[in-house]
Structure 1
Amino acid sequence: MPNAIVYAIPIFILLLLLELAWSGWRRRQTFALSDSLSSISLGLSGQVFNVFVKFLNLGIYLLAYEHLAFFDLSASVWWVWVIGLMGYDFCYYWHHRMGHEVNLMWASHVVHHSSEEFNYSTAMRQTSTGFLTNWMFYWPLALLGVPPSVFIVSGAVVLGYQFWIHTRHIGRLGWFDHCFASPSNHRVHHGQNEYCVDRNYGGVLMLWDHLFGSYATERPEHEEPIIYGIHGQLKTFDPVRSNLHKFQDLWHDFRLADTWTDRLRVWVSPPGWRPRAALERAPKPAHDISKFRIYRPQISPVTAAYCTLQMLLVMVFGLGFIGFSYAWPLAWKLLGAVWVWGSFWVLGRTLENGRGVRGWQLAWLASLAVPAFVAHQQWGLPLTWMVVPVLGVAAALLFLLRDSARRQLASEV
C-alpha cells in the first residue's frame, strides 16, 4: 500500500507556507530560503532512505509482540489506547534523551538540530540514520502486549503532534507549557544557550521532563534570546555531509584513541567527550556562543528562484517515489533513491555556492530523463506526457542557470 507520509508531507508544506505568510504579515521573518530548502531536502532524503529500512523497527516490534508479550491486550478497549499513547510518549522521551546524551545516537539526531533557524521547515529536517538505534526503545511496549495497530497509531500521534511546536510565532501558553510540549518548551530544546542544552525532551507530555529533571522554562527574549543550531557549526547544505559529519568525527577520535577503553567510550559517552589522545593530537577550540554567526551564503535572486523551482520539481518526483516505490523492483528503487539524493546534493552545493556548481547543474538537468523514464516504465504514462513538461521545466531552469552565471561573472568583473 502507498506510504502514508505522502499524505502528511503536503499538509506540512501547507502549514509551512501559512507560517511564512504570517511571518511576512507580522514583519517578523523567521525563514531563510537556503536553510528551509535544506531542511525540506533532509526530510525527504530521510523518507527516501526509509523506503529500504522502514520495516526494521516494526519487524522487531512484531517479533517481540508475537513471542515475548506478557499480556494479551485488545485494541477494542479504550484504556489499551491510553496505555499505548502514554507508553509510546514515555519511550519516546528516553529515545529522545539518549539521542542527546550518547555520542552514537547524537551523531544521528544532530541532523534535526543543525538548522540555525526555528520554523516549520525545521520540523521536517530529519535524519536518515535513525534506524540504527530507534529499534532499541519501543519494543518494551510489545512486552506489555500493546497491539501493533495501537503502537503504529500512537507513534503517528506522538510524532505528528510535534510539528506545530516548531515555531517562533506562538508565545508562552501559561499552564499548557507546564503540562505539554509547546512552542515555548521546544524553542528551549533547540537552543544552544547554556540553559537550553539537554532540556525539554518530551514529545507530547512534559510530565517526564518534570519527573526526571530535564525541564526548563523559556527565558524572556529581551533578557536572553535563544540562539539555534549546534555546538560545532555545520556550515553546509549538503545532505550527505549533514547526515554523516558527526559519525566522521567519532571515527576520527576512535582512530586517535590509544586504549580500547577510550575507543569504546567514544561511541557511548556524552557529546563533547573525547579521548585524551584525541585532545592532544587534534585539539578543538572551546565553544564560544558569543562568536556564533548564522551560516547564510549569499546567492542571487535568480539563483534563489532556480533553487526553489528545482526543489518543487524534485519534491514532485520524490513524493511519487516515496508513495509508490513499495511496488517497484529493487533496481528501480535504487535508481530512484540515487536520483533524489543526488538531486538534493546538487541543490545543496548550489545554495552554498560550491565549486563546479554550473557543471553539476547541467548534469542534473540531463538526469531529468531518469524520473521521466521511471514514471513511464512503472506507471505506463506516455513518454510525451513526461518528456514535454520535463523539457519545459528544464528549459526554464537552464535559462535561470545561464542568467545566474552571467550575473556572477558581472559581479566578479
Structure 2
Amino acid sequence: MITPERIMAWAIPGFFILIGIELLVAKLRRRDVYYSNDAINSLGLGTISQIVGVFTKLFAIGIYGWCATHLARWQLPADSVWVWISGLLLYDFLYYWLHRMGHEVNVLWAAHVVHHQSESYNLTTALRQTGSGFLLGWLFYLPMALLGYPTEVFAVVALIDLLYQFWVHTEVIGRLGWFDRVFCSPSNHRAHHAVNDRYLDRNYGGILIIWDRMFGSFVEENDEDPPVFGTRAPLQSWNPLWANVEVYWAMLKDSWHARSWLDKLRVWIKPPGWRPADVAARFPKAEFDITHARYNPTLSFPLKLYTLASFGVLLLIGVHFLGAAPKLPLQQAVPYALYLVYSLWAIGLLMEGRRIGIWLELLRTGGTAAGVWLSGSWFGGMPLDPRVKLALVALFGIGAIAVLVLAGYARRHPGSAHAALS
C-alpha cells in the first residue's frame, strides 16, 4: 500500500541528488546560486519542520479523519481512480487559498514567512519549511473531509502536492513555454518568491497556475526586472528558532502597544506589514530597501568547513530520528527532538560568529561524547554496539577539540574572519 512515509522515504535521497545536480550546473554556468550558510539554515529549518511534524501530524490528520467520519454525508471509495484524481485537484485548489491567505493574513504569514526568508533561490529553499503551519493550516482542507474524501487519500495527495513543488525552486531552469501557462513552474514560482513591487504576493498555485489566472493573482516573470528574493522585513539571522517566531513576536509587541482594543485584534488578521497608526508613530521601522546587502557574515574557511561537516552529521542523525521517533515513547522521543533542535540552534549561532555559539557547540559535542561513553546507548535507551559507541565518542570528541581550536585561533587572530567568536 502507498503511504506518505514510503513516498517520503523514496523522495529524500532524490532531493539531495537533485541539489547536487543543481549545484554542479550552477558552477558550470558560473552562477552564485548557493551560499553554504544559507543552505544550512534552510535545510536546518526543514529538519525542524519534520521534527515538529513527528509530534503534530496526528493533529491535522486526526481532525480531518474525525470530520470525514462524523460530518461527511457519504464516504468516497479509496480504490477509485477518479477519487484520487479529483482529490488531488481539489487539494491543489484549497492549497491555493491557504497559500494566498498566508500572504494576506498576518497570523498565517507568521507561519509561512519561514519559507520566504532566504535571500537565495535554490532547491534547499524548497525544503525550508515552517514549524508552526500545523496550527491553522488544517482549516483550509476541511471541505475535502466534508465531501467524503478518505483520510488516506487526503494524506497522500497532500504529500504529492508538496513534493511537486520541490523542483520549481531553482534558477537554473528557464522558461518552459506552454507549461508555464498551465502549471506552477520555476519561472512562475521565482516571481512568487520575489520582493519586487511587480511580483509581490502573486502566483500562489501549488501544481496548477491556472488558479492564479482565474482569480487575478498571476504575474509573469520579466527579464527586465529580475526577481530579488527574501522578505520585506529581512530576517538577518541564521538562528532557526528566531526564524520561526520573528513575526509572531512582532505581532505580539504591536498588539501589546496598540491603544485600541480593536487594533490589538487587527494586528493578527490584517495583511503583513499593517501596523496600528499609534504604534507605527511611536515605534517606527525603517522603509524596505530592495538594494540592501545580503545577510552573509564572513567566516574563515576552517569555521565554514566545521559547520558544513557538523551539519552533515546532524542530517544523518535527523534521518535516524525520523525513523526511530514513531516507535519511541514520548518521554524518549521528546529529549531526542530537543537535542536536534538545540544542535541546529547552536550551529546557527556559530555561523553568525557569535561567541555564545562556541560555548553551545562545545557543550553539544563534548556532552554528546561524554553521554555516549558513560551510558553506552543513544537516545531512547538504544544500546550501542561497542564499535559504534567508540566511533560516536571519537566523532564528537574530535568535534569538541575542533571547537576549542577554532576558539583559540579567534583569540590569537583578533582581526580574523571569525574574531567575533573570541
- TM-score band w.r.t. shorter chain: over 0.9
Q: CA deviation at 1:319?
A: 1.3
Q: Is 2:131–2:244's contact at 8 Å kept on the other side of the alignment?
A: yes
Q: CA deviation at 1:376?
A: 6.9
Match of 1:60 among 58, 63, 80: 63
Taking the aligned partners of 1:366 and 1:7, their CA distance within structure 2 comes to 34
Q: Which amino acid aligns with 1:385?
A: R
Kindly tell me: are residues 2 and 168 of structure 1, through their superposed partners in 2, closer, same or farther at Cα, counting changes over 3 Å?
A: closer
Match of 2:79 among 73, 76, 80: 76
Match of 1:46 among 46, 49, 68: 49
Name the SS of the counterpart of 1:345 in structure 2: helix
Kindly tell me: are residues 14 and 367 of structure 1, through their superposed partners in 2, closer, same or farther at Cα, counting changes over 3 Å?
A: farther
Q: Is 1:302–1:400's contact at 8 Å kept on the other side of the alignment?
A: no
Alignment of 1:274-285 (within 5 A): 274-285=275-286
CA displacement 1:127-150 (0-9 Å, x = unmatched):
000011111111110111112222
Matched with 2:406 is 404
Taking the aligned partners of 1:371 and 1:153, their CA distance within structure 2 comes to 38
CA displacement 1:1-37 (0-9 Å, x = unmatched):
9954455333212211221122222221300000000
CA displacement 1:111-168 (0-9 Å, x = unmatched):
0000010001101110000011111111110111112222111111110000000000
Kindly tell me: are residues 11 and 385 of structure 1, through their superposed partners in 2, closer, same or farther at Cα, counting changes over 3 Å?
A: farther
Q: Is 1:257–1:263's contact at 8 Å kept on the other side of the alignment?
A: yes
Taking the aligned partners of 2:260 and 2:161, their CA distance within structure 1 comes to 41
Taking the aligned partners of 2:299 and 2:9, their CA distance within structure 1 comes to 31
Kindly tell me: are residues 2 and 401 of structure 1, through their superposed partners in 2, closer, same or farther at Cα, counting changes over 3 Å?
A: farther
Q: Is 2:235–2:243's contact at 8 Å kept on the other side of the alignment?
A: yes
Taking the aligned partners of 1:407 and 1:224, their CA distance within structure 2 comes to 44
Alignment of 1:102-121 (within 5 A): 102-121=105-124
Taking the aligned partners of 1:202 and 1:117, their CA distance within structure 2 comes to 21
Aligned residues: 409
Q: CA deviation at 1:330?
A: 1.3
Question: Which 5+ residue runs of structure 2 have no aligned equivalent?
Answer: 416-422
Matched with 1:346 is 346
Matched with 2:132 is 129
Q: Is 2:106–2:269's contact at 8 Å kept on the other side of the alignment?
A: yes
CA displacement 1:315-348 (0-9 Å, x = unmatched):
1111111112111111111110110000000000
- TM-score with structure 2 length normalisation? 0.93
Matched with 2:378 is 375
Name the SS of the counterpart of 1:189 in structure 2: helix
Matched with 2:31 is 28
Matched with 1:389 is 391
Q: Is 2:336–2:380's contact at 8 Å kept on the other side of the alignment?
A: no
Kindly tell me: are residues 371 and 135 of structure 1, through their superposed partners in 2, closer, same or farther at Cα, counting changes over 3 Å?
A: farther
Alignment of 1:200-279 (within 5 A): 200-220=203-223, 223-279=224-280
Q: Is 2:4–2:159's contact at 8 Å kept on the other side of the alignment?
A: no
Q: CA deviation at 1:236?
A: 0.6
Matched with 1:91 is 94
Kindly tell me: are residues 2 and 204 of structure 1, through their superposed partners in 2, closer, same or farther at Cα, counting changes over 3 Å?
A: closer
Q: CA deviation at 1:410?
A: 4.2
Name the SS of the counterpart of 2:53 in structure 1: helix
Name the SS of the counterpart of 1:54 in structure 2: helix
Name the SS of the counterpart of 1:412 in structure 2: coil
Taking the aligned partners of 1:377 and 1:265, their CA distance within structure 2 comes to 45
Q: Which amino acid aligns with 1:82?
A: I
Kindly tell me: are residues 74 and 231 of structure 1, through their superposed partners in 2, closer, same or farther at Cα, counting changes over 3 Å?
A: same
The question of 1:141 aligning with 2:156 is answered: no
Q: Is 2:343–2:364's contact at 8 Å kept on the other side of the alignment?
A: yes
- Which of 1 and 2 has higher RCO (CA within 8 Å, sep 6+)? 1
Taking the aligned partners of 1:169 and 1:43, their CA distance within structure 2 comes to 22
- TM-score with structure 1 length normalisation? 0.95
Name the SS of the counterpart of 1:58 in structure 2: helix
Matched with 2:170 is 167
Q: CA deviation at 1:409?
A: 3.3
Identity %: 39
Q: Is 2:366–2:400's contact at 8 Å kept on the other side of the alignment?
A: no
Taking the aligned partners of 2:15 and 2:327, their CA distance within structure 1 comes to 25
Matched with 1:287 is 288
The question of 1:327 aligning with 2:327 is answered: yes
RMSD of equivalent CA atoms: 1.8
CA displacement 1:205-236 (0-9 Å, x = unmatched):
0111011110000001xx22211000111111
Q: Which moved more, 1:244-253 or 1:149-158?
A: 149-158
Q: CA deviation at 1:371?
A: 7.1
Kindly tell me: are residues 95 and 205 of structure 1, through their superposed partners in 2, closer, same or farther at Cα, counting changes over 3 Å?
A: same
Kindly tell me: are residues 379 and 395 of structure 1, through their superposed partners in 2, closer, same or farther at Cα, counting changes over 3 Å?
A: closer
